[in-house]
Amino acid sequence: MKRSHIIAIVVIAAAIAIIIATAGDASTYVNFDQAYQMASTGNSSQIHVVGELKKENGQIVGLKNSDDKLSFSFILVDDHKKEQKVIYNEPMPPDFLRSEKVVVIGNYENNQFIAKKILLKCPSKYQDQKLVKS
């Protein structure tokens, strides 16, 4: 076997390894039930859940800042209308309340959903653009 063949095999092996690693480390979009199931079967990987903040009569409910303002919790309603309290160990992002959609990245720990990261989808600045008439 020529050396170049060996290198080619190594490269192909590395490429396959990369693809497998990507597939393995890729997260998934799931709902809270699926996330809970994953956690209860011992799978502690971080997943994405897309949802909306719980609202009653147009008011966001279930929002709670910790006393030291360094963390907060809120209620997220997923696509299947399941409500789940989500805990986030960072101060509340100031535009949090304006967001239409919230993507939480995290997992269940002891029956609570702990978000490691929150992505906010705010009304687009372009769609929302209003003329300032004054």
Asked if 123 contacts 98 with a C-beta cutoff of 8 angstroms, the reply is yes
The least distance separating other proteins from the CB of residue 81, rounded to whole angstroms, comes to: 18
Closer Cβ to other proteins, 6 or 61, answer by number:
6
Closer Cβ to other proteins, 19 or 61, answer by number:
19
Place of tokens 């799978």: 43
Closer Cβ to other proteins, 2 or 81, answer by number:
2
DSSP codes of every residue in 63-116: -EE-TTSS-EEEEEEETT--EEEEEESSPPPTTGGG-SEEEEEEEEETTEEEEE
The least distance separating other proteins from the CB of residue 103, rounded to whole angstroms, comes to: 6
Task: Please give the residue ranges that form the binding site for other proteins (CB under 8 A).
Answer: 2-4, 7, 11, 14-15, 18-19, 21-22, 25-30, 45-48, 66-71, 73, 87, 89-95, 98, 103, 105-106, 109-110, 112, 114, 116-117, 119, 121-122, 124-126, 129-134
Q: How far is CA 45 from the centre of its chain?
A: 12
